[in-house]
Structure 1
């Protein structure tokens, strides 16, 4: 059972999704929770049988915690991860791995020194949507992949979020917010990226909050809010990506993969499942592929379960590689030149089709 006793640091909104998933899993046990708000810590601990309400520093040192689940804000990811590693714990964190590439590199270096493991979201890529498409690519259903497109457009999170400020500060923006879902999927489908060429812009210098107690308040925009680019994958395929807070809608599919013998249409990689469509190069017929790979009925936290009970497909190395891709896109946009991606990652093994009872550990 090494690694399966989980301590959670950061008990904000996203923690609820993880708690719902982990509480139903037989292979893990939540033994402690911590937050900067003691009242919140106590309230959450009361909902988890046997869980301790601790301060973050006490949780890092506690003997009944093997793995720290880091659900703090991105600016705190490095600090929490380093403290947990120093306490002899493995670490699994929400995306991004850290707020900057240098910070993420320090986390992985510290893990290597300590002989500990690091994993990180997004784990949506382990669901049946992306994994079924990946199985089709690996089976040669579309021939040699030559390109892919990934598109996510929105008019901005101020339309619904009552406190959207951090989306428009350094470390925010549409690429760093939504990019991890799409780029992680592209790495699984087409392999690591070796170079990028990016461009970016911003449509306005201030945004107006549209909901909540601050509705009508203007907030500054410190980052580019429309980012596009081309990724060169190690195997030769190229992906074209667009992420925007400046465009309200699109008719483009979330992800398409094009091969010499056909194409695939993938569902939104921000979700675990969805329909995968295939079209053969010699036919106009569009076929829905049967689900053939991935964790069925998955939800946020399945990557942590895979991390502590399986091969750890949502690895820190993949998370670091994706963070470098995003950093390089922004650097390329600023320089107006192609930028190499120096990190790499071993593409995790395909997830075999695994029913809910299998990955939750009940009757597997």
Structure 2
């Protein structure tokens, strides 16, 4: 039998260099991942490193970034976190007190001092992300459970297609559609005004409700699909066995089915929380002046304000907060995923 490496003149040849590299366990791995590693390094890690350096610089008189030895420092992070004349503990107390007053309906005022505007934007953005994630979980999990277990098998593909159908349209088109629905004399305000116990037409646009409505509408499929993937793989005979051993249907669900579906819940929560906290377009189009978020602030610093160092510092603060929040969530709710 002739060798697979036989040359044209009949003599057996050696394998080519690319073939020898691919056959080596470590060199082959490096050869295969090198294109992706190059792409990530050039278009992600290098720009990220440049942004990190910028966050320690200063803004010049004409908007340029000054990176001299006498300009490098933590001044942007101090500007972001600490009000003028405050210490670290005072800053933490003022931030907590402002958050309590902001989230309570009566607006409890624990102190007259307020945190920096940048901290207020960050707290508001995180709160938007938490509420959007919880609402998506409340709506998305039952939907995923119905599709995976209760819906007829021949209809499941159609139902999943309906979940992703809005993504056939542009992101901006969907946001403007929400804006039309919530606008004055729109479908939703008119329907609410028609209720017998509602007097007048409610204002549902350019407020917290419109921002949260937009976040939930845009990111809800990112909760449904991972939850569906986890629920579909569950062996429901275990739930039936728990019921045979004396558990009622709710207890069997909470002790058996829901813990087994936690990987999908965790994945969906992360996929909703991250873009909701850093959202820029949704608060810009659906929110008012009092609904500004850290994403809008960062965009303004790299745009009209021209303060790239402060914008870079805000970006890394947001990144650190999201990574820390995700790490804590995975440790506590991820069932040992970390």
TM-score (norm 1): 0.21
Comparing both structures, which one devotes a greater share of its residues to strand?
1
Comparing both structures, which one devotes a greater share of its residues to helix?
2
TM-score (norm 2): 0.22
Larger Rg: 2
